[in-house]
Structure 1
Amino acid sequence: MFEARLLQGAILKKVLEAIKDLLTEATFDCSDNGIQLQAMDNSHVSLVSMTLRSDGFDKYRCDRNISMGMNLTSMSKILKCAGDKDNLTIKAQDNADTVTFMFESQNQEKVSDYEMKLMNLDQEHLGIPETQYSCTIRMPSGEFARICRDLSQFGESMVIACTKEGVRFSTSGDIGSANVKLAQTASVDKEDEAVVIDMEEPVTQTFACRYLNYFTKATSLSSQVQLSMSADVPLVVEYRIQDIGHIRYYLAPKIEEDDN
């Protein structure tokens, strides 16, 4: 038997919003430790990795490890039926071919349940190597989303350059070029608004704006985002989900082609 209850069902709605543009279906692996998801996007350009720890749930029971293959479009339709303040319980039997989502209003006066068919998905588990990154940048997630959105109007690719002076986001296209520079904040009272850069060596890489904009769908989950970069390895964009886990997106850099 698997059962997980979240007092803030809205967290799962936001998680789904954050991944459903990249993935149409995914396997949720449930164990004693919590729920994990790892999948390449449909075009095999980026990787999504999500962890929701069991201790972050109000109630969590998993008698034996189960993997639930879900169609995320269907799951999204079900979660849209939940009120933002509803409690959410996910239940499945050990060898079940369906999963049940139950929503309860805070006053317990309304309880609704939805059953969804599970899918058998062949998804290989990709080992993500432990990497020491040359640069990590922590910044407000809303600021990162705005930069990605603004710069994608100028070009299809965005250069992220991290130096000891700060981090620079730049792009160029038919109408011209755009640059945004952020310096490390010296004294900020609010952690959420800080820009913190840890750098061992400078890194400059180019990424597809389209994917960065997909990643920023997770902005509502966290007030801060962390970018980790090293030469020749994928960028990691991480959003921590308060008290329960994180979503990480991995995106391979574009190989610069000489135009001339």
Structure 2
Amino acid sequence: MSVQVGSAATKFPTIFEVRLEHATLFKNLVEAISDLFSEAYFNFSSRGLDVLALDSSDIALVALLLRAEAINHYHCDRALSVGLSLADMAKAFRCTNNDDTLTIKPVDDRFNILAFKFESPNGVILDNDFNRVDIEYGPFEINEFPESKYQAIVRMPSAMFMDICNKLSSGERDTVVIISVDKERVSFFTGGKTGSSSIVCRPTQTVDKASTLSDQVTISLSSIQPTVFEYKIAEMGYIRYYLSPDEMQNDEDDTAKEDKMQNEGDEMQN
């Protein structure tokens, strides 16, 4: 495990430094993505801190942004990208408190180690040094598309979306959920060995762990692009999950099953 308690002193000019007065936000962000992604690129630039990760099946990716102007203290002389273990980070953060102050900066001039320093209001300091990791895929960028490029945009309370996901998944990790949208309603339904389930949301009731970060989730749907689930973090930034449609697996049996689920869902709604 690449975590050390007791950070080494920095003996070179600081290329970047990030300080958050309340660590709870960063802890919640790591928790929101560490279950699905084991490693991520932490990109430091003039615009702020970007975190990008791709899952092992190449079906899901996440993009997280904390804007420089919204961070209590942000200093970055030049852009750089560092791969870190989210699993190690989430484990180490369990020993910290939500009201701690968090400072992030490099330990060496090659950026092989990043120091995450947590300091509590009563003066207790916890230093965690995370070793740089080599990630199988290289650094990447995500092209942003305007809302006009999507066939449907759904905005709803994030707590409602989390409740829907919990009810449809029934504790199963790999549940396939179909989202159907028309001018009057948005429907979520799924099927399994014991039957099918359907939940319908009317317009008047305007990737679920992120619901603690934002009151609202925006779901952007397209038949030719990944579905985007966006949670805005007040004025600080956002977290976005990009999920490729299940039918992109090109499996005829899966397609037939989805058609059956669609028909069953339509019958339940009518």
| 1:238 matches 2:230 | yes
1:53-111 deviations in Å (ceiling 9; x for gaps):
1111100001111212111111112222220111111111542211111112234x222
Shift of the alpha carbon at 1:226?
0.8
Do the aligned partners of 1:64 and 1:94 also contact (CA within 8 Å) in 2?
no
Alignment-derived partner of residue 205 in structure 1: none
> Partner of 1:77: helix, strand, or coil?
helix
Quote the sequence identity (%): 36
Do the aligned partners of 1:27 and 1:123 also contact (CA within 8 Å) in 2?
no
- In 1, distance between residues paired with 2:109 and 2:236? 24
Alignment-derived partner of residue 23 in structure 2: 9
Gaps of 5+ in 1: 186-193, 196-214
2:256 to 240, 255, 258: 258
Gaps of 5+ in 2: 1-14, 248-253, 261-270
Over the aligned positions, Cα root-mean-square deviation in angstroms equals: 1.9
| Cα 1:167–1:117 shift into 2, 3 Å | same
Alignment-derived partner of residue 198 in structure 1: none
| 1:105 matches 2:120 | yes
Q: Which amino acid aligns with 1:243?
A: E
> Partner of 1:119: helix, strand, or coil?
coil
Alignment-derived partner of residue 172 in structure 1: 191
Q: Which amino acid aligns with 2:203?
A: Q
Equivalences for residues 61-100 of structure 1 within 5 A: 61-92=75-106, 93-100=108-115
Alignment-derived partner of residue 209 in structure 1: none
- In 1, distance between residues paired with 2:218 and 2:44? 26
Alignment-derived partner of residue 207 in structure 1: none
Do the aligned partners of 1:2 and 1:94 also contact (CA within 8 Å) in 2?
no
* Greater percentage in strand: 1
> Partner of 2:121: helix, strand, or coil?
coil
Alignment-derived partner of residue 208 in structure 1: none
- In 2, distance between residues paired with 1:59 and 1:159? 42
1:139 to 156, 161, 169: 156
Alignment-derived partner of residue 249 in structure 1: 241
- In 2, distance between residues paired with 1:94 and 1:63? 13
Alignment-derived partner of residue 168 in structure 2: 151
Q: Which has the larger radius of gyration?
A: 2
Alignment-derived partner of residue 221 in structure 2: 229
Please report the TM-score for the alignment, with normalisation by the length of structure 1: 0.83
- In 2, distance between residues paired with 1:166 and 1:106? 48
Q: Which region of structure 1 is more displaced relative to structure 2, 91-100 or 157-166?
A: 91-100
- In 2, distance between residues paired with 1:129 and 1:89? 30
> Partner of 2:246: helix, strand, or coil?
coil
Do the aligned partners of 1:234 and 1:252 also contact (CA within 8 Å) in 2?
yes
Alignment-derived partner of residue 128 in structure 1: 143
- In 2, distance between residues paired with 1:156 and 1:60? 40
- In 2, distance between residues paired with 1:172 and 1:152? 10
- In 1, distance between residues paired with 2:38 and 2:190? 30
* Greater percentage in helix: 2
Q: Which amino acid aligns with 1:123?
A: G
- In 2, distance between residues paired with 1:129 and 1:240? 15
> Partner of 2:177: helix, strand, or coil?
strand
Q: Which amino acid aligns with 2:199?
A: V
Q: Which amino acid aligns with 1:167?
A: V
